Structure formats: structure tokens, C-alpha cells
Structure 1
């Protein structure tokens, strides 16, 4: 079993309130979950209206599937015009890793 996680550090364009932030982040999280069958959630910068951290996690039987899912999710987020991808943090673990 392999597990992978990816955290996106995002700068949100043209957002001036936490309510506007939610209107950008919620659809992004929902699309990640729907398109890539991953767990996804807003994971940081909760009190800042122009920054967001979104994390995803995936579990699969082989490493290639985990890498493919994380790569596809990263490409999708990087291509969104309403967010600027500042950085990503990726972690992939085999089942026997501690």
C-alpha cells in the first residue's frame, strides 16, 4: 500500500474577504475530490483572506498511481486562473515506512 499527500500554498487573486475566499476555495476542494478521487480539505491560512493552504491525500496499491494522481492534481491547481500556486509540499510513503 502506498499513500501520498500534497499541500498547495495558494495566493488568491481578487479576494477581499473571507467570504470571497470560501467562494474560491470550496469549489477547488470539491473539484479535486471529484476529479481525482482524493481526500481534500483547506488545511491552513484559515484567517487570511488572500492566502490558502489546501491539502490532498491518496491511497493506492502501487506507487505509480499515487504519483499520477498527485501530478494531475498539481497540474489542475496550477492551471486555475483565480489562484497562484506559490509552492507545493509532497510526501509519498510505502506501507512499511514509519
Structure 2
């Protein structure tokens, strides 16, 4: 399994309000998802009309494909008419267990399930 992450800032000089910014950001999110099958979210600078911090993620079984997809997306971001690409960083994570990883002899790893359950219980106690 390969997880590819691209984080980037968009500079939106033509946006005079948050509504103008949302139009540009939502249009870009929809386009990237539709054309590249990636998950996209605005992750920062939410209250800044002239800029947005965004991130996208892609999961695949081929590291080269992940890199090529991020390259194509970066090229597309540089060519935007309604915004300019600011800071951009990427990370490609490979599953250390490899392609043939399978649950151990005791079954699947339940540590994440246990951690989520513990946090949910802690939150419900805090709310009470």
C-alpha cells in the first residue's frame, strides 16, 4: 500500500470575500477529485479570503503511479487561472509490511480499534 499526500497553499488575489474564495476552492476540489480520484480538503487559512491551505491524498499499490499522479496535479495547480500555487510539499508513504501483509496469527491488529474506543469513552466521561 502506498499513501501519497500533497499539501499546498493557493493564493487567490481576485477573491474579495470568503464566498469568492469558497467558489474557487470548491471548484478546484471537485475538479481534482473527478479527474484524479483523490480526496481533497481545505485544511487551513479558513478565514483568509485571499489564500487557502489544502491537502489531498491518494492510496494506491504502485509508488511510481502515486508520484506521477502528484506530478500531474502539481502541474495542473501551477496552470490555474483563478489562483496561484504557493508553498507545496509532498510525501509518499510505503507500507513497511509490504504488499503481502496479512493479519498475524492472533488475527488483525486491534490497537487502533482499542485506541478509538478508549478515546470515545474518555470523551463521553468528559461530557457527563
| TM-score normalised per structure 2 | 0.73
In 1, the alpha carbon distance for the partners of 2:73 and 2:54 equals 11
Give the equivalent residue in structure 2 for 1:56.
56
CA deviation profile, 1:42-95 (whole Å, cap 9, x unmatched): 111101000101111001111011001111111111100111111101111101
* Structure with greater helix percent: 2
1:79 matched to 2:79? The reply is yes
Greater strand proportion: 1
- The residue aligned with 2:16 is 16
Mapped to 1, the partners of 2:43 and 2:60 lie a distance apart of 22
Deviation at 1:13, TM superposition (A): 2.3
Q: Quote the residue 1:42 is aligned against.
A: 42
Unmatched segments (≥5 aa) in structure 1? none
Per the alignment, residue 3 of structure 1 pairs with 3
For 2:86 and 2:61, how far apart are their aligned partners in 1? 30
| Preserved contact between residue 43 and residue 53 of structure 1 (Cα < 8 Å) | yes
**What is the deviation of 1:37?**
0.5
CA deviation after TM superposition for structure 1 residue 2, in Å? 0.7
Aligned-partner Cα distance in 1 for 2:13–2:50:
7
Q: Greater relative contact order (Cα 8 A, min sep 6): structure 1 or 2?
A: 1
Aligned residues: 97
